[in-house]
Amino acid sequence: MNNELKQQVSELLDNELASPAAFDLLQKARHNPEITSTLNRYAAISQAIKSDAFILADNDFSARIARQIEQEPLYLLPQRKQPSLRRYQWPAMAASLAAVLVLAAHGLDKINTPETNASLQLAQKATPEPTKQAAANSEQTEQPLNARIYDYLQAHNNSVYTSGESDFKPLVKVTSYANRR
Amino acid sequence: MADPLGQSNPISAQITGKQALQKMAKALHNLNYQGTVAFLRNGKLEPMKYFHASHNGLEQERLLSLNSPLREIVREHGKISCLYKQTQQRKVDSRPLDRSFLVDLPETIDELDDTYAINIVGEENIAMLPAYVITLRPKDALRYGRTLWVEKQHFLPLQAIVYGPADETLEQLVFTDFSVQESLPFVDSQAGNPSPLANNPAPLPLTEANFIINNLPAGFHELFFTRRLMHNEARPVDHMLLSDGLAWISVYMEYKKLPPMPTATAEPKIVPAVGAINFFSRPLGDYEFTVMGDAPRATVETIAQGIQLRNSQ
């Protein structure tokens, strides 16, 4: 692995890598076990420096989490213009794994230390923001249910104007998909 | 009221419920009146200032929101415009059929004879004004019941409630202050920065619809049909409007260009109601049909299941 990638991994763990580059790195990690291994190793080193206690997660920990998520049913809930989580679950889980490794030795009762807060921010920041193309692709393949309903309501009657929702907030608060046979 | 739809005997008033509604239908269009009205829908309360101006056969309805987002909504001449105060952005939408913000009634109340029992069941004060309490009780389970409080002097609606099958309140509007004026000004609905008119759908012959609806529920008939652009898609959506005089049902036909959803490829979708409006969606051929309206879900579903593509006959 070249030095540039190693530098990016280090910056990622130090929360110094910009979001687009972080997303790009995590996308690469999805297909490059070497990057993941480097990520784990750097995180372990960082934690070992900070504390004597350390718990190393299994190598396939995040992969097992991803498989578990795959098996969960798909809920067609209205989204506020967010991309499908499934597209980004692997990079998000990789980032979360890094955060877990850093947090492990601190334990749950120390979760509010500056280090853990920084790690949490890293995990959140590393959750990739969708690129414009990815968002467009998502919109092309899945018209948000609440936006369609809003359009239908607007054409149907005047209730959208008297409901306070005419700033395009979702009208349907909870939806469910009935798969009836 | 223990029985919101007046199962008890109607009171003997000087006029009948139908006569009061007929007077109300005319007053809604012809009089100048204003007040503060609160809309309750989907658990959300929206108070607004209301104005209705009428002059020489023209009328203009206007709402001013009291809560954010501050906006002014004007209905006139077959269109509705909404001006957002903060951005001064105005959105205009075409309305081939004029529908009041308050209450919609058929042109002749006799249309409701077969489907609703209309009675005056009492008198109450709303906004400090005496009003007849008029119930419109459905004669079957295909539609919702309503109660209207109609001001006794000018026969204008002061309160209206739509009830569900278990007499639960689905939607409500009520005036907290109300007055009739000799005249009211017409406002300029062109102010602000107009957005391009997204839609200007003209009514089309019903025979141009690519689908037909078999076995319409009793009392419902096609009102109008049009094609309109929606969802920023280039391909227009067929839109048919049905009504039984009080309840309004829309049928949308969209071309399915996407792969079917993975969890249910050919199954109907059920989306919970929005206020009194129920939805039902089903795929048919290359199209997806969505039926929605202020009627029980069974009615919406019956209409959806009765849809047939015209070229499949």
ipTM computed for the complex: 0.81
Residue B258's Cβ-side half-sphere holds a number of Cα atoms within 13 Å equal to 16
Is a pLDDT exceeding 90 seen at residue A101?
no
Give the one of B69, B99, B271 whose C-beta lies nearest to A175's C-beta.
B271
Distance in Å, alpha carbon of B92 to nearest chain A alpha carbon: 11
Distance in Å, alpha carbon of A160 to nearest chain B alpha carbon: 10
**pTM score > 0.90 for this model?**
no
Residue whose structure tokens are 């205009």? B92
Domain at B206-312: CATH architecture: 2-Layer Sandwich (3.30)
* Highest mean pLDDT pick, A49-53, B60-64, B91-95: B60-64
First-to-last C-alpha distance (Å) of chain A:
53
- B230–A155 CB contact, under 8 Å: yes
A61-70 pLDDT, tens digit each: 666 666 666 5
Q: Which residues pair with B224 in a beta bridge?
A: B241
User: How far apart, in whole angstroms, are the C-alpha atoms of residue B113 and residue B115?
Assistant: 6
Question: What are the boundaries of each domain within chain B?
Answer: 17-181, 206-312
Q: Between residues B203 and A66, which one has the greater pLDDT? A: B203
- B293–A171 CB contact, under 8 Å: no
| A76 CB within 8 Å of a chain B CB | yes
Q: Between residues A131 and A141, which one has the greater pLDDT? A: A131
B16-52 pLDDT, tens digit each: 999 999 999 999 999 999 999 999 987 788 999 999 9
pLDDT for the residue numbered B230: 78
pLDDT for the residue numbered A179: 31
| B128 CB within 8 Å of a chain A CB | no
Is a pLDDT exceeding 60 seen at residue B263?
no
Name residues whose C-beta falls within 8 Å of residue B85's C-beta, 6 or more positions apart in sequence.
B69, B70, B71, B72
Give the one of A148, A157, A177 whose C-beta lies nearest to B263's C-beta.
A177
Q: For the structural domain made of B17-181, what CATH number should be given?
A: 2.50.20.10
Residue whose structure tokens are 């026969």? B155
